[in-house]
Each structure stands twice: as C-alpha cells, then as structure tokens.
C-alpha cells in the first residue's frame, strides 16, 4: 500500500506526558496514513484525551516525538498543529451559542486583514457542506441548532482550516444512531479524499468501522491491531484488562402499585421554548423506567421538573397518589424522591464542602444530623464514616474536600446520600456518565438492588446498552415528547434508534 512507499501522515514515537504525580501517557507510539481511520480505544481515564491534546498542541509532551509526513515537528500551541494540517473536534462542543454558524466557523481563522469577508467565506463553507452532504443554515445562531447539527458545525470548522488529519474525540456521544451512521458516511468520504482520521471512542461497534485500532489502558498502549484481525471480545479484554460482564443480572419481579405518576407534563427550557411536551407516564414499585434519547431532548428539563427546581406549565406530578405539582425541591426530598444527576459537581455536590457535609446536603435539618437549628458534628461524622465504609468511597477521611475526589468516588458520595434519604423513588439522569467500567457495574448493580427493594426508578441514559440492560420498560423521547413505550424484552435497537431520531412508528405502543 501507499503507506509502504510514503511516510505516514502523522506518526507518534514514545510519547510520555505527566501532570505532577499523575502519568497520563507512557511511551505511546503509533501512526496514521493518508486515507486511513485510526481508532484510539480506551476506558475513561485511559489517557486518550491527553494524547489527542498533545497531538493538537494543547499540551507539550514530556518525552517523545511527533512526525508529520516523516518530518519531526514540535507544537507550542494549537496554531502550530493547525499549520501542519491537524484539526480537532472536541468532545464537548466549543461553540459560541449566541453567534451564527458562519461566525463560529471563521472565528480565529487568520488569513487576510481586518475585514470579515463573510460572503466569500460563506461560499467556501457552502462548498464544504455540499461536498460532504451536510445541510446547515449558515445564518442560524448556534443555540437554534439541534445537537446533531452542532456536531456538523464542529466538523466543518475543522475542515475550513484545511485540516488533513482530523482528531475526533467521542464524536457520537451526542448523536442519534441515525446521525452516527451519517457521521461515518462523512468520515468515509473524507478518507476517499485522502484525509486521515483519528477517532477516539469507547464504543465497540464504532471502533470496528475503522482501519486500525490502538488500545490504551492506564496511559499505555496495550494493543495495536488492524481491525480485520480482531474481535469485540479481544478488544474489550484489552481495554479493561479483565473479562467484563457488561450485562447486569436482572431478576423478574412483578411491578407493584404505581409510585410516580406524571400526566400531561409540559415544561419550558431557559429560553422559554417547550422542552417537555405533554409527557405522560407512570412508574411502579419494583420497576425501572428507562428514558432513551439523545441528550438535549428534554431529559434534563424533565428531571428538573420532577425534582422541583423547574416549574411545570401544565400537567400533574403525583407520588403514591399525593399531588406534588409545583412542588419545591425540599418537597421532593421529604417525600422520598432521590436524585442522581448527570453533572455531579454542578447539581449534586458542593465542591469545596467536605465529604461529610456533602453526605448530608439537603437533609441537614433532619433530627439525625441536627438538634433543632444546630448541626451535630459528631453524628454527621459517624454517618459519613459509615457511608464511606458501605460504599467503598476512597478518601483520606470525612473531612476531605469533595472536589479532590475522583469522579467515581464523588458519585458514590451522592449515591450514599440519595439512597439514605430516598424512600420511594429514584431519579437517575445519566448516572454512569464519565465513569470507569468498574464503577458503572457497581452503579447498575445498586440500582437493581433498589428495584428489588421496591423503589420506582427513572433512568435516563445516552447509552442504549445501559437502558436495555436495566429497564423493565423503555420510553423513547425526542424533542420533549414520548415517542413510544416498550417492554424491555420487546424492544430492538433499530426501532429505538428510529424513534430517537423523532420518526413516529405506526405500531408504537
């Protein structure tokens, strides 16, 4: 092949990067040729993001070499990387929501003079969109676009800079299955145009669409294979370092009485648009209702309305027959609703607080922790010590600042608190986002335990596999509406995918 005659488009030799005592990458070497898709596979914290940041000039590697077309290069800033034809699509969008698509794409491109030359640049953007079969309203503001469309903007942004090597960090995390397919069609076109792709992912079905796979574990390369020569199970055990039981054991239990009843609920988002549109559903004792859908389709607003931090426009919320509509978060807590948020350090924990203070956040007024208005430190500390033991929270002690904890341990602090205070219902919004496989298994297991004990559980996740593994029933949401509800054993991924993309099914139950 051409790679034999020409040097690879991008090559990495012995790259090492540390942050203080933390080693992010050790002796990493690989290469990617023109027209090739290379996949970097690894768990959270395996060092994929640091590696890509080094390739993009965001960080300087401590050791090792990066070569472009066989020439050693040294990147002091992303500008140097861009000049060498390297572009990056970040995992979290880096867009300016209040600006238009064109403005976002041309932002920071330095070609000529002071003038913006919007029209000339819009033409180049339209050409790029046409070549890759992407349709975008160039004068729309970013906040008006769907999440999928924003991802196309990110890709065009990189192509606009004439990138020849594209690094995409978890690009499908926010896409519907349909959009993901389209993304891979675009990537195929790019490789046909001789562009090189470095795809960062932890999803096996995507990884298998690449040409080469580099598996990272704890910052080291543990596998470097051609995709045709490998299998799913090989990749999984390489990635995790041990065989994994991805499916949690779920015993059959007959659901009991209805616990959480939501009828005709309509909720607005911050911009005053309808985010949740006349949703109706019921969750019973011993039941997990999975909410399947791409994030940004009203899940956050739904959960916020159920907790009481966001008021509803119409509809009712009932808990065990008691009307809770227009309730406050304190009502939700005292009535036995627990909440596990997706963004732990935003909605679940007070970062500068100690672990012990976070274990009683929201329940500090209970007689267990306070004598009248005065906190009882001794009882709080004993409670926190007990939580640390039971949930296996790794921390120097109950008085450690919570924001020094790892994501998994921080999540366990929330679990300890919510499972103590919740008596009837648990709302879990992406409870495993950003966690390692080990902790994911733990969270799944503990949710099933609570189901067994009779809790009604609402679980939202972007990972269809999670939903399928845990739920008794699955509600698919798109644009704030429930598109269909299935029993878990009746659901199939294709059907769910279509509904997630907003297409109504004739036979949707």
Partner 1 sequence: MTISDYRIEKRTDVGAIGLFMQALIAITLAFVASGLLLTILGFDPVAAFDALHKGAFGTWRNAQGSLIHAAPLAFTGVAAAVAFRARIWSIGQEGQFFAGAMMAYFFTTFLNLPALIMVPLVILAGALGGGLMGGLSGTLKTRFNVNVVVSTVMLNYIIVYLLSYLLTSRIWMAPGEYYLQTDRIPKNARLPDLWPETDLHLGVVLAVLTIIGLHFLINHTTFGFSLRAFGDNAVAAHFKGVAPKRMTLIVLTLSGALAGLGGVVQSFGVDFRLSQTFLYGHGSAGLIVAVIAGLRPLSIGLVAFLFGALAKGGLFMQVMADISSAMISTMQAIILMFFLVTSVLFQYRLRRISQDV
Partner 2 sequence: MSELFTQAILIAMFAATVRIAAPLLLVSIGELVVQRAGIWFLGVEGSMLMAAFAAYFISVASDSLSIGLFAGIGMGITVHLSMAVATVTLKINQFITGLGINLLASGLTLLLYRESLKRFNGEVPTVIPFETVALPGISQIPILGEIFFDQHIFTYLAFAMVGVVWAFLYRTRYGLEIRALGENPKALDIKGLSVSGRQYAALAFGGTMAGLAGAVLVLALTDRFVPNMTNGRGWLAIVIIIAGNWKPLPILVAVLVFAFLEAFQLQAQGIGLDIPYQLLLALPYIGAIVAMIGLQLRSEQPAHLGVPYHRE
**Which of 194-202, 283-291, 352-360, 389-397 is the region at the interface with partner 1 (rule: CB under 8 A)?**
352-360
Distance of alpha carbon 376 from alpha carbon 381, whole angstroms: 9
Can you say how many angstroms the Cα of residue 342 is from the centroid of all Cα atoms in its chain?
A: 9
Q: Which residues pair with 68 in a beta bridge?
A: 10, 71
Nearest approach, Cβ of 431 to partner 1 (angstroms)?
Answer: 15
Query: Closest distance between partner 1 and the C-beta of residue 330, in Å?
Result: 4
Nearer to partner 2, 138 or 467 (CB): 138
Taking every pair of Cα atoms in the chain, the longest distance, rounded to a whole number of angstroms, is: 79
Name 484's Cβ contacts closer than 8 Å, sequence gap at least 6.
Answer: 475, 476, 499, 505, 508, 509
Of the candidate residues 21, 243, 272, 321, the single one contacting partner 1 (CB under 8 A): 21
Least Å distance between CB 305 and partner 1?
12
What residue 333 binds from partner 2, partner 1, none (CB within 5 to 8 A, per partner kind)? partner 1
| Min separation Cβ 339 and partner 1, Å | 7
Pick from partner 1, partner 2, none: which does 234 bind, CB < 5 to 8 A by kind? Answer: none
Q: Find out whether 323 and 361 touch, Cβ atoms under 8 Å.
A: no
Give the Cα separation of 250 and 449 in Å (integer). 9
107 vs 130, beta carbon nearer partner 2: 107
Picked from partner 2, partner 1, none, the partner binding residue 330 (CB below 5 to 8 A depending on kind) is: partner 1
Question: Among positive and negative, which fits the CA dihedral 457, 458, 463, 467?
Answer: positive
Which of residues 45, 57, 348, 497 is near partner 1 by CB under 8 A?
Answer: 348
Only one residue has tokens 């796979």, namely 213
Between 192 and 374, name the residue whose CB sits nearer to partner 1: 374
Binding interface with partner 2 (CB under 8 A): 56-58, 77-82, 88, 90, 94-99, 103-104, 106-110, 113-116
Which region, judged by CB under 8 A, interacts with partner 1, from 222-230, 360-368, 460-468, 499-507?
360-368
402-411 CB burial, b ≥16 within 10 A, e <16? beebebbbbb
Can you tell me the distance from the alpha carbon of 43 to that of 322, in angstroms, rounded to the nearest whole number? 43
Helices 177-192, 147-160: axis angle to 10 degrees equals: 10
Q: What is the DSSP string of 147-205?
A: HHHHHHHHHHHHHHTT-SEEEEESTTTTS-HHHHHHHHHHHHHHHHTT-EEEEEE--HH
476 three-class SS: strand
- Would you say 169 or 357 has its CB closer to partner 1? 357
Question: Residue 493 binds which entry of partner 2, partner 1, none, with Cβ cut-offs from 5 to 8 Å by kind?
Answer: none
Distance from C-alpha of 507 to C-alpha of 509, rounded to nearest angstrom: 6
The contact mask relative to partner 1 for 303-332 (x = CB under 8 A, - = no) is ----x-x------------------xxx--
Name the residue nearer to partner 2 (CB basis): 270 or 489: 270
- The contact set with partner 1 (CB under 8 A) reads 20-21, 307, 309, 328-330, 333, 339, 341, 345-353, 357, 361-362, 364-365, 370, 373-375, 377, 401, 403-404
């Amino acid at each position: 092949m051409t790679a034999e005659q020409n040097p690879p488009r991008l090559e990495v030799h012995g790259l090492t990067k540390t942050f203080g005592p933390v080693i992010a990458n050790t002796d990493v070497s690989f290469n990617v040729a023109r027209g090739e898709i290379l996949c970097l596979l690894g768990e959270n914290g395996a060092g994929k993001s640091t590696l890509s940041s080094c390739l993009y000039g965001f960080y300087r590697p401590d050791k090792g070499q990066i070569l472009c077309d066989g020439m050693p290069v040294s990147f002091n800033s992303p500008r140097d990387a861009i000049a060498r034809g390297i572009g990056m699509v970040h995992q979290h969008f880096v867009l300016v929501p209040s600006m238009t698509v064109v403005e976002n794409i041309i932002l920071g491109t330095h070609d000529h003079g002071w003038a913006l030359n919007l029209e000339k640049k819009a033409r180049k953007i339209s050409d790029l969109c046409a070549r890759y079969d992407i349709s975008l309203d160039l004068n729309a503001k970013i906040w008006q676009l769907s999440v999928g469309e924003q991802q196309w903007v990110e890709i065009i942004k990189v192509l606009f800079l004439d990138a020849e090597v594209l690094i995409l960090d978890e690009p499908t995390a926010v896409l519907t299955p349909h959009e993901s397919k389209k993304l891979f069609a675009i990537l195929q076109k790019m490789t046909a145009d001789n562009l090189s792709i470095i795809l960062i992912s932890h999803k096996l079905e995507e990884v298998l669409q690449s040409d080469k796979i580099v598996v990272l574990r704890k910052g080291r390369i543990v596998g470097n294979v051609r995709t045709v020569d490998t299998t799913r199970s090989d990749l999984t055990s390489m990635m995790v370092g041990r065989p994994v039981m991805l499916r949690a054991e779920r015993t059959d239990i007959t659901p009991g009485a209805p616990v959480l009843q939501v009828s005709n609920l309509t909720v607005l988002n911050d911009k005053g648009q309808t985010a949740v549109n006349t949703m109706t559903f019921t969750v019973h004792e011993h039941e997990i209702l999975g909410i399947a859908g791409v994030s940004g389709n009203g899940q956050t607003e739904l959960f916020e309305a159920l907790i009481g931090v966001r008021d509803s426009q119409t509809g009712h919320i009932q808990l065990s027959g008691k009307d809770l509509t227009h309730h406050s978060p304190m009502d939700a807590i005292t009535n036995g609703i627990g909440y596990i948020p997706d963004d732990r350090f935003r909605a679940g924990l007070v970062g500068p607080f100690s672990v012990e203070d976070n274990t009683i956040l929201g329940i500090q007024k209970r007689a267990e922790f306070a004598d009248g208005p005065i906190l009882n430190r001794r009882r709080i500390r004993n409670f926190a010590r007990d939580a640390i033991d039971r949930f296996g929270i790794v921390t120097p002690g109950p008085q450690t600042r919570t924001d020094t904890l790892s994501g998994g341990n921080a999540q366990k602090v929330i679990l300890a608190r919510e499972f103590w205070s919740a008596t009837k219902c648990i709302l879990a919004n992406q409870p495993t986002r950003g966690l390692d496989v080990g902790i994911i298994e733990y969270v799944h297991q503990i949710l099933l335990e609570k189901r067994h004990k009779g809790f009604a559980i609402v679980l939202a996740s972007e990972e269809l596999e999670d939903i399928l593994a845990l739920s008794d029933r699955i509600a698919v949401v798109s644009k704030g509406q429930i598109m269909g509800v299935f029993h878990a054993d009746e659901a199939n991924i294709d059907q769910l995918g279509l509904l997630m993309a907003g297409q109504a099914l004739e036979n949707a139950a």
